[in-house]
Amino acid sequence: MDGEKWVGGVMAAPENPPRHGEGDRAKRGGGGRPPLQRPEVYAARKLRREMSLPEVLLWEQLRGQKLGLKFRRQHPIGPYKADFYCAAAQLVVEVDGKGHDFGDQPQRDEARDQYMIEAGYRVFRVTAVDVLKNIDGVLVSIKAAAETPLHRPLDGPPPRERGGF
């Protein structure tokens, strides 16, 4: 009766040996790596699932390069998440609801804008009401902001007129 086990007067099912090098990992808690993604990425993913109605409506118009530009939504930039971001134009589009008018939110928005501007991004803010009532006008404004050149031409500013001394 080799390999047979009796438990409580009943013969127990034989244990299967580990396969494919499984060994006793399950007893030790597995052996995987810690997640490779930054916490900002997880937060951005959560925000993508919890977008407001104006953000959802605007995203439907921006996604798939419908404006001729590729946009990302809830894109992490430093400690902040941009509502929408166009890498080709270095343009951040923020949708502001009524909550942006109260408490310390205007100061927080200003600090956020300053951070992004210093990092080389341009910030374009639209109100949620404008998105809901005039989305076509908002899209025209976003496209115009994205097409505005970031820098002066390589040959520099226009020459100054020379006056006589």
Residue 74 lies in a domain: yes
- Which range marks the domain in which residue 89 is found? 52-147
Residue 88 lies in a domain: yes
Residue 17 lies in a domain: no
Q: Taking the complete model, does pTM exceed 0.85, yes or no?
A: no
CATH number of the CATH domain containing 107 = 3.40.960.10
Query: To 10 degrees, what angle do helices 135-147 and 53-62 make?
Result: 60
The pLDDT score that the predictor gives to residue 165 is 40
Residue 97 lies in a domain: yes
Residue 163 lies in a domain: no
Residue 6 lies in a domain: no
Q: How many domains does the chain have?
A: 1
Q: Please check whether residue 72 is in contact with residue 85, taking contact to mean a CB–CB distance below 8 angstroms.
A: yes
Residue 159 lies in a domain: no
Stretches in the chain below the pLDDT threshold 50: 152-153, 163-165
CA distance 92 to 123: 5
pLDDT tens string 93-115: 999 887 766 677 788 889 999 99
Residue 119 lies in a domain: yes
Tokens 């900002």 locate to 40
Q: Please check whether residue 145 is in contact with residue 124, taking contact to mean a CB–CB distance below 8 angstroms.
A: yes
